[in-house]
Amino acid sequence: MATRVAAAAAIALATSYVIATQLRKKSKIKKLSKAFQGKIRLPTSVTPNRYDLELTPKLDICKFDGKLSVTVSIVEATKYIVLNAADLTITDKSVWLRSKTSRQMLWPKSVELHPEDEILVLSFDDDLPIGDAILGMEFQGTLNDQMRGFYRSSYKVDGESRNMAVTQFEPADARRCFPCWDEPSFKATFKMTLHVPFDRVALSNMPIAEEIRNSKMKTVKFEESPRMSTYLVAIVVGELEFIEGHTKDGRSVRVYTEVGKTYQGKFALDVALRTLPFYAEYFGTEYPLPKLDMVAIPDFAAGAMENYGLVTYREAALLFDEKVSAAANKQRVAVVVAHELAHQWFGNLVTMEWWTHLWLNEGFATWVSYLAIDHLFPEWKIWTQFVEQTVDAFRLDGLVESHPIEVEVGHVREIDEIFDAISYKKGAAIIRMLQTYLGAKRFQEGLVSYISRYEYKNAKTEDLWSVLSEVSGEPVKELMDSWTKQQGYPVVSVKLKSEALVIEQSQYLSSGHEGDGEWVLPLTYCVGSYSRRLSELVRQKASVLSVRKVSSEAKKVEVLSSGVYEIKRAEDPMANGEKTLDRDTSSEFLDLTKDWVKLNVGQTGFYRVKYDEELASRLRSAISAGSLEATDRFGVLDDTYALCIARKQPLSILLSLMEVFRSETDYTVLMCLTDVSYRILKVMGDALPAASKDLKHFVSNLLLPSARRLGWEAASDEGHLDSMLRGELLSALVSFGHEETVNEAKRRFEAFLEDRDTPLLPADIRKVAYKAVMQSVTSSDKAGYEALLKIYRETDVSQERTRVLSTIGASSDPAVVSEALDFLLSKEVRNQDAIWVLAGISGEGRDAAWSWLKKNWGTVWNRFGESVLITRFISSIVSQFSSDEKANEIKDFFDANSAPGIDRTVGQSIERVRITSEWVKHVQAEEGIVEKIKQLGAQN
């Protein structure tokens, strides 16, 4: 018995030792795996080469099963494999690793998911064998309703709601579909296999290689993809139809839609078929894939997504119905398609190394889409319209709460916030500025070289600058670093001094405060004529341009299809302090005593200009005389408005300038005039409400000549720009309370209610009527509101739905505004479309909207907090206010209700409120402004 006791004791001791050892090992593993938490980037000791991925989406229960094997390279000694995974269940026992050289099978000691960091850590007993291996595992996930990762979108067939499975992986949501190295730099090839119901269409990046059917299911195997980043992988499974065309080299291009909507895809198909060969020639590289599919998705958070070979779109950004869609919808489809197809080269073939360089993708695609549209539709004057993109960037980048183009990303949740006007529109603007400086030909040669050098690879901003410098011989990095690595932009003040122009640059801030930024400035200017045009590279804060004479060579100006000019650049004498640039090489003298001077010719530079009183007066005369081109008229007006916001010029100066636009006919300039008018009226409503009526009368009289020229009926030979302009002008007149226009709009609306096919209310002016009706809706008379909801419920065209949604908040009755906002949370409105209601809220409804947001914040966050849409709720509602008290209230609310991914948006919105508050005070204190407005309002 004693022996048995001793033996038992020995066994117990040994067992306790084993258990203790195992616990220590587990503790050590856990401690070591924690070393991978909180990191911005994944380790590079193990990298993927090829993914073999099988997915089985279960559309009825919104789940999916997955099976993955990844060929990896183990490049340094490690016991760990770390990759991304989120919202997935990994079957631990299914995880294995097999060395390709030794054929040895290894099973991980532990399989740990870290939800906060969205990583999967596989721990092994020993260092993994260096070389290639295959990693395998099985997993399960949910087809979520958040419009990201692998998600479900709903549609109806004969009144029955059904689900389709869709992916949206940018920026970092492939990890919600399958475990992967979910960073742009980890490029690999992909071999996809889908198991789907036999009656569903299954699409992925590549063409179908094989399809195996049985009674209820089919297995669809796709060809292996080229090397690409995970965020570009795409899958769509649903009931779809398509129309098809082929490029000259035989590539298939298809537009997929819900059943019965393919006719709405014809315009987008035509744009794609014409754009692909244009880009192939411009980039010097053929479209890299054997096919291109474009799919209209019913539920889609962004406008579109450039997945390699399988581009997905919100319906309104791809489909065009000749009867229901407006000219503006047509232009949007064309621009969005051109943007996404540009990414097939710039973004997909050559990919940013990390999200810091997001602007390279988005800014470039934005710029080059205008290049393509100008080629396809020169009559649209798209390069004139490009200045509207620049203004959007100006308005965000004038905030202290802006950010540099190249912004450090500390967590994946921060990425969504930089998909903004800085990355897209400022990025596009500085690309255009650089192209103008280098010249279109050299710039294109540089891009061809860049794509050839980095195809199927990753690149950084500096890589592009390096190639462009090699090709052009210009100091591209020096120039562009000042625009990408610091936020903000300059305002160039110019004064006339004898026979010279004295210029000084300083950072523009909408707050009126002084910034400390300094830029290498590619300055363009002309004197008295567009034939006398020069460009300088200005490095100092202060410079003197002595322009007594201009070189005859500078008159050889070639206007290129890209909307830029080949300009003779002067030699740049490097000097300390002020530099004098003397033009004394020809017999043609420039008379600075009387000639007008325009800086930033064609608005191709990303800076504003402040002229002294004499030069500003000459520019007003030049505009009246028709001497300035449309882009420059736009620039003078918008720059003056921006200086008024910053309290660098009085409102009376801006109003005097607006007077000279009475005979304006250009679409883009008139859009600037109406936009500036909206903004002035908003401030006036808070600063001097008694003067608002006179101001509205003044603005209406400015717009009426062009509105009456166009009338309500389209001419048979009417151009695209006039079609867009009519609706914008009439809508502005309705907003400004022009009684004749309001009454006519309501009359046409009544005719439309009686007959949906009436010619009295075509698509281009339908929003005018909807707004006119809603402006008179009250809680005691909601007939117009109910009529619009009826139209919304009857149509299946997304552009008509958004048209209704964008006007139902236009009532001046707070109770009606609250009801419209409640409607956006109903099941009748897709999440993607909710933001349209926010865009149309009246000034009188802003307090009701803010109260609604506070009351419903929990619901709004739960529904939209995981998508980029949440920022629209905040900025659209919060930015409408104009007092410090309200700014403090907003700050207190979000301090108490903080959430990840919204800090930058909240900060920007509050800053806008404080800026408007200061402008309101400035207007109130401006001497004689009430009399000035009254005088303007009395003019006919």
Lowest-confidence pick of 20-24, 876-880, 907-911: 20-24
Mean pLDDT throughout 794-823? 96
Q: How confident is the model at residue 11, as a pLDDT?
A: 39
pLDDT, one tens digit per residue, over 556-598 is 333 343 444 343 343 332 233 333 333 333 335 567 778 899 9
pLDDT, one tens digit per residue, over 40-53 is 899 999 999 999 99
pLDDT, one tens digit per residue, over 256-278 is 999 999 999 999 999 999 999 99
pLDDT band with cut points at 50, 70 and 90 for residue 408:
confident
Q: How confident is the model at residue 330, as a pLDDT?
A: 97
Torsion of CA 273, 279, 281, 283, to 10 degrees: -160
> If you write DSSP's letter for every residue of 116-160 in order, what string do you get?
TTTEEEEE-SSPPPSEEEEEEEEEEEE-BSSSSEEEEEEEEETTE
Cα distance between residue 113 and residue 868, in whole Å: 25
Higher pLDDT, 13 or 895: 895
pLDDT at 548 over 90: no
pLDDT, one tens digit per residue, over 305-319 is 999 999 999 999 999
pLDDT at 606 over 80: yes
Q: How confident is the model at residue 31, as a pLDDT?
A: 53
Nearest to 546 by CA among 520, 528, 570: 570
pLDDT, one tens digit per residue, over 330-368 is 999 999 999 999 999 999 999 999 988 989 899 999 999
| CB distance 144 to 151 below 8 Å | yes
| CB distance 319 to 333 below 8 Å | yes
Judge whether 339 is annotated as a binding position: yes
pLDDT at 144 over 80: yes
pLDDT band with cut points at 50, 70 and 90 for residue 499:
confident
Mean pLDDT throughout 878-906? 93
Judge whether 343 is annotated as a binding position: yes
- Supply the mean pLDDT for the chain: 90
Higher pLDDT, 520 or 565: 520
Q: What percent of the chain has pLDDT over 90?
A: 81
Higher pLDDT, 314 or 30: 314
Confirm whether 927 is a catalytic residue.
no
Structure tokens at 238: 């649903």
pLDDT at 247 over 70: yes
pLDDT, one tens digit per residue, over 76-113 is 999 999 999 999 999 889 999 999 887 889 999 999 99
Cα distance between residue 463 and residue 586, in whole Å: 40
Annotated catalytic residue, options 112, 170, 306, 340: 340
Nearest to 146 by CA among 739, 632, 831, 773: 831
**Residues whose CB is less than 8 angstroms from the CB of residue 640 and which lie 6 or more positions away in sequence, other chains included:** 616, 649, 653, 654, 657
Lowest-confidence pick of 10-24, 600-614, 671-685, 868-882: 10-24
23 by Cβ neighbours in 10 Å (0-12 / 13-18 / 19+) ranks as exposed
Higher pLDDT, 888 or 157: 888
126 by Cβ neighbours in 10 Å (0-12 / 13-18 / 19+) ranks as exposed
Q: How confident is the model at residue 770, as a pLDDT?
A: 98
Q: How confident is the model at residue 19, as a pLDDT?
A: 37
Nearest to 234 by CA among 292, 284, 288, 282: 292
Amino acid at 619: L
Q: How confident is the model at residue 102, as a pLDDT?
A: 79
- 3-state SS, residue 46: strand
**Residues whose CB is less than 8 angstroms from the CB of residue 413 and which lie 6 or more positions away in sequence, other chains included:** 900, 901
Judge whether 918 is annotated as a binding position: no
| CB distance 901 to 867 below 8 Å | no
Mean pLDDT throughout 391-400? 95
Cα distance between residue 856 and residue 867, in whole Å: 17
Cα distance between residue 826 and residue 823, in whole Å: 5
| CB distance 721 to 380 below 8 Å | yes
Mean pLDDT throughout 530-559? 68
782 by Cβ neighbours in 10 Å (0-12 / 13-18 / 19+) ranks as middle
Mean pLDDT throughout 846-858? 97
Whole-structure pTM value? 0.91
In the numeric block, the tokens 């409408």 are attached to 880
Q: How confident is the model at residue 344, as a pLDDT?
A: 98
Strand order in the sheet with 490-497: 580-582, 542-546, 500-507, 490-497, 608-611
pLDDT at 168 over 50: yes
Q: How confident is the model at residue 580, as a pLDDT?
A: 35
Chain center to CA of 399: 18
